[in-house]
Chain A
Amino acid sequence: MTHLPWDLQLLNTCAALLLLLSFAMLSQRRIVTLVDLLAIQGGLLAVATLLLAWRTGQPHLYLSALLTVALKVAFLPWLLHRLIHRLEVYWDTEPLLNISGTLLAGVVIVVFAFGLAQPITQLANTTMRSAIGIAIAVVLLAFLMMITRRKAMSQVIGFLSMENGLFFGAMSATYGMPMVIELGVALDVLVAVLVLGVFFFQIREQFDSLDLHHLESLKESE
């Protein structure tokens, strides 16, 4: 094993924990816990950004860490909790694939992501380039979660987790995106969640449920 400086060790630990959290989200049936896990994921992301900012001395990374805490640890989870209580959806129904199956599929996806990341890793010259594979894995696992869940709420959480993965990927490949883009993405996510929140009420009014398979049939008579 190589001897790494302690801040890189901490960054690697953050990356490993992010991967673990993605699996925890895949295996979780309770929506309230899912939101909590999402908040923890945001917190870890903020810690990783802070560590990277401290290591590289790039001021915009401090700002994006602050933005992460404000948006992904505080505001979005609060909003989602409020939506959950108003819509009274606490549990997802049995996912399309059972939990053990989903987890095994997740392992296969992680191996695939690591293979996919290898050429990118060789091109990048940042100190945390080995974490790119984990970032891609987090994105793909969030995809898997969106595919296997039925309730609109879990899909939105999957979407947010995917955004976290992308953010982490950008951070480990190029020390973060330019500030303008980062702000744009943050605003995008915020608006998306707000609009989806309105959507939830519309969906429930139409179908008396948040189960998205109702949206699959084209005619109402079916």
Chain B
Amino acid sequence: MSAAAPQVTELVTQLLEVVAALAAAPLFLGWVNQCRAWLSNRRAPSIWLPYRNIRKLFAKDAVLAENASPLFRLAPYLVFSTMVVAAGIIPSMGTHLPLVVAADAIALVGLFATARVFLSLAAMDVGTAFGTLGARREMMVGFLAEPALLMVIFVASMISSTTALPAISEHLVTQSLGLYPSLAFTAVAFTLVLLAENARIPVDNPATHLELTMIHEAMLLEYSARHLALMEWASALRLFNYACIGFALFVPWGVATGAIGPLGLALSIPVLGLKLGVAGAGLATIETVSAKLRVMRAPEFLATAFLFAVLGLLVHVLLKA
């Protein structure tokens, strides 16, 4: 085998990961929606519905508000591209990725924050009441969820003494099986952050356009056509990315580690599919059994997430477990 061969596979893994994220994110969203419908005894919409929605939106003519600034038109592209870059950093299939040197897990949190800032600015840009309301709520949720997410990443970083997500994942795969209360606590914290950051049910309802309760949807009200398509695709990508971060930290088995060959890569794809299927069903179950919180109770929800993450950190420091 020539010396260049591993680099080629790494490049292929990288490309495959990004393409898979782009292609599978709407499918994952469709799967979650389908599970939710089944669990509430409704007839499920097609799993391909998100794709059809995006295609439909791309075919339409965009309508812009008269007083919209260039920022408003730029924001969908920025938000979408940050999500694509994030998908490149997260080790969903292999841990040897060329893009990894560019950004570690902390920079990844920063990427999510950048997307959030532009989304909120664009929502406030047109000046409607709903956009501003949604943006304010999003920032409130965001500034509470971010420290919790960072804490989760710090626990995993302390365990594997690195902040690069693929290295963390690789370290966790190779260590022996055992009970790790610190990781269990952080997994709970991460699930709570995932629900809050992706506008899922206890914090926000993705299926509603009821004015008083919505957060994420309120920010997208002014968007139409291709801009809206990109925004919706970006939010599907965000959910997909969060799920993959969760896999990398808490169920890293099945990811191709070390010097990967084509076989390891081929094996990691069905494993990822299986993980996503289970995670989607689990997410739908959580959303079905929990009731939406009042907006003012969201800080308490996120304080719980932060507390779990900090407890994980403290338990790790004290018990080395």
Contact = CB atoms under 8 A, between A and B. Distances in A.
A117 B317 CA distance: 13
Contact of B182 (A2, A16, A107, A130): A16
Contacts of A13: 179, 181, 321
Interface stretch (B8-16, B223-231, B303-311): B303-311
Contact of A107 (B307, B317, B321): B307
A2 B180 CA distance: 11
Nearest to B188: A20
B314 A110 contact: yes
Given A9-B178, A23-B307, A130 B159 contact: no
A195 interface: no
Contacts of B310: 107
A16 B315 contact: yes
A91 B180 CA distance: 35
B110 to A, nearest CB: 25
Interface string B172-198: 000110111110010000000000000
Interface in A1-16: 1-4, 6, 9-10, 12-13, 15-16
Interface in B5-59: none
A22 B175 CA distance: 31
Contacts of B317: 114
Given A20-B185, A100-B303, A111-B314, A3 B178 contact: yes
B320 A16 contact: no
Task: Point out which of A4, A27, A100 has the most chain B C-beta atoms below 10 A from its C-beta.
Answer: A100
B128 to A, nearest CB: 32
Most buried by A among B182, B310, B318: B318
B319 interface: yes
A103 interface: yes
Nearest to A114: B318
B261 interface: no
B314 A4 contact: no
Interface string A54-78: 0000000000000000000000000
Contacts of B176: 3
Determine chain B's interface SS by DSSP, over half rule: helix
Contact of A114 (B180, B304, B307, B314): B314
B303 A16 contact: no
B300 interface: yes
A166 interface: no
Given A10-B179, A16-B185, A110-B314, A130 B307 contact: no
Contacts of A104: 303
A131 B318 CA distance: 8
A12 B175 contact: no
B315 A19 contact: yes
A100 B300 contact: yes
A131 B315 CA distance: 9
A1 B174 CA distance: 12
A131 B319 CA distance: 7
Nearest to A130: B319
A106 B311 CA distance: 10
A106 B319 CA distance: 19
B299 A100 contact: yes
Contact of B311 (A2, A19, A130): A19
19 contacts: A1-B178, A3-B176, A6-B179, A12-B179, A12-B181, A13-B179, A15-B315, A16-B181, A16-B311, A16-B321, A19-B314, A19-B315, A20-B185, A20-B311, A100-B300, A103-B303, A107-B314, A130-B318, A134-B319
Interface of B: 159, 175-176, 178-182, 185, 299-300, 303-304, 307, 310-311, 314-315, 317-321
Q: Which 7 A-B pairs have the closest CB atoms?
A: A16-B181, A9-B179, A12-B321, A100-B303, A16-B315, A12-B319, A13-B181
Given A1-B178, A110-B314, 8 more contacts: A2-B320, A4-B178, A15-B319, A16-B319, A103-B307, A107-B310, A107-B314, A110-B311
